[in-house]
A and B are shown apart, each in its own frame.
Chain A
């Protein structure tokens, strides 16, 4: 039943990391759906501890407690569902902005990164919980970024030419995630996968992926049922990638 994600939203003025706070909720056995956001996050993290740059304020950072106990292999869809929900929310509020997804966890606008998702899972079976964290570049400009990431980054303010109502965007994202999470939990994946595929311009194009210490090049053939990427190599092999960083891709759409 919907009404889970965002049942309680805790807003901090400032915190070290919203993911760490939600982890505490998870370890204390709290029910799923609690979301924690902060106007300023001073120790936000990207994937594997890489520092997620957030300026003084103006970013949207939220972490959600989820308990996908009966999901099994579908759990790998979570980062994509969070990214999809945020993309849908951005477009609902800023209709002029077209958001695409870069497999498996980035939100992009015109080839530049708007935000990303980091999920962490803890425990197993009945104690299993996931902390799903989302970071979006909001009301500042890419000129505020350090030089080395400026060219690859974009903010909502850059996209629409003025500040965006981040509060509404956050609520809308949580409501979208509530619906998408509920659908996926019931195994109703067809519509979700179709929505994901249409937002992934890399499908059908050429990709270069760092995976398990090597680099794989080929055609991104398909997004599979649990969110894996099927890559067709020039040698004619079809490889299912579940873990990797896409270094480069060409769009086919």
Chain B
């Protein structure tokens, strides 16, 4: 049962003031419940266009980070800084290949790495377009706030 099917069921619940709904579809069974009476579940997708605009604009805070966080001008390169203190991981799991390698062409939505802090795995995206020219941190090592993790040749 996918997201849009679930949304349809939520609409059905709202329209009929239901707190619980169970649906069987072949061998799949799904139950929907509201824990709090009187809470009308709003399933309203945020339009995707503004989100894209915002994430493109989000490159700016990265530039505010200290040490290596600044967009280096020489040869139109950008260093991708760690947005937080934590542990740097190049792959989603120990037996998966790295998200990116040197030479890979990346777009702003390319996932570069994970930075883990307090068992929160934070997925870090490029937020610019270009080619990875350097990986500056070894897998599993600690990173400081603002420490450069990758170098991207822009363009």
Contacts and interface: CB of A to CB of B under 8 A. Distances in A.
Interface stretch (B27-35, B63-71, B73-81, B128-136): B27-35
Instruction: Determine the interface band of chain B, counting residues with CB < 8 A from chain A.
Output: 35 or more
A171 B120 CA distance: 23
A242 B119 CA distance: 9
B138 A213 contact: yes
A130 B120 contact: yes
B32 A213 contact: no
A49 B93 contact: yes
Interface string B16-59: 00000000000011111111100101111111100100110010
A95 interface: no
Contact of B32 (A8, A122, A126, A175): A8
Given A3-B36, A243-B85, A78 B31 contact: no
Interface of A: 3, 6-13, 24-25, 28-31, 45, 47-50, 75-80, 104-105, 117-127, 130, 171, 174-175, 178, 211-213, 226-228, 242-244
A76 B96 contact: no
Contacts, number: 141
Mostly helix, strand, loop or mixed at chain A's interface?
A: mixed
Contact of B120 (A9, A11, A78): A78
Contacts of B117: 76, 242-243
A174 B45 CA distance: 23
A13 B118 contact: no
A105 B122 contact: no
Contact of A7 (B34, B58, B93): B34
Contact of A28 (B3, B33, B93, B121): B3
The 6 closest A-B pairs by CB, nearest first: A49-B93, A212-B142, A29-B46, A6-B35, A76-B118, A105-B119
